[in-house]
Amino acid sequence: MVKNQVKQKEIGRIPLREGEDLVISLVDNEKLDLRVWMDTERYKGPTKRGLRFYLFDGNWEEFMKLVQKVNKVYEELS
């Protein structure tokens, strides 16, 4: 039995703290994955902490609205 190959392309990463990054990836050219990745002596790779959603079912627009709201609050706090 052949497993489905997942095509994953890293878009960028943000360091959170030593040994931990937030990695943003495009999966199969249709899903956005935001996931915490660890790089420690004991474990290197993705964690369960994160989310994945389809880009083309209306979620992207709602996600961007949410990001704009977060940005507005951030600017008000600065």
Q: What is the pLDDT of residues 11-67, one digit of tens each?
A: 999 999 999 999 999 999 999 999 999 999 999 999 999 999 999 888 888 999 999
SS3 state at 48: strand
pTM for this structure?
0.80
pLDDT score recorded for residue 11: 97
Beta bridge partners of 31: 27, 54
Tell me the CATH number for domain 8-77: 2.30.31.10
SS3 state at 78: coil
C-alpha 29 chain-centroid distance: 14
Report the C-alpha gap between 38 and 11 in whole angstroms.
17
